[in-house]
Amino acid sequence: MMKFRENEDAVSPVIGVILMVAITVILAAVIAAFVFGMTGSVQSTKTVAVTAAQSGTDIIVTYHGGADADTLYQLEVRVDSETKYCYYDDATDTDYTVTTTKTGTVLEEKLPLGAIIEVEGKGTAQRDHVLVVGYFMDGTEQVLLDTFV
């Protein structure tokens, strides 16, 4: 009986070369990202707690604070076609104002914990879409809550 020998001597070196080339390409891409500043535009996510609930035909949004509470100065609440804004106002007894007008400037006072934004008459028997956007003192804005109540 004849024995055939398979020649597999060249398989290991070829796989080794392919792996080395792949590692070199990945390493070059990572170094280039840092050198050319491609990672500098990534913004950190803010941590702020906001809840929404329905009471009859009203939608009530409550601000609970969080790790970035010191930098939040304004909330925007959207329910269907209605938009309301909530921000610090030392002229009121509750230390915050709820209005339909967005403040045009970055306020230097943070929004107090427990602030409540009530959107009257927009709650229905169906699920109503509630979107809450937070505006921060560093000029960034972020969606804090996107839910249905």
**Predicted pLDDT at 61:** 95
Sign, CA torsion 52/55/57/63:
negative
Please tell me the pTM assigned to this model: 0.69
**Predicted pLDDT at 54:** 93
Per-residue confidence in pLDDT tens, the chain, 149 aa: 666 666 656 567 788 899 999 999 999 998 888 887 765 666 788 999 999 999 989 999 999 999 999 999 899 999 988 899 998 877 766 678 888 888 878 888 888 888 899 999 888 888 899 999 999 998 899 999 999 99
Long-range contacts, 124-130 (Cβ 8 Å, 24+): 124/57, 128/54, 128/59, 128/79, 128/80, 129/79, 129/80, 130/52, 130/59, 130/61, 130/77, 130/78, 130/79
Which amino acid, one-letter code, is at 31?
I
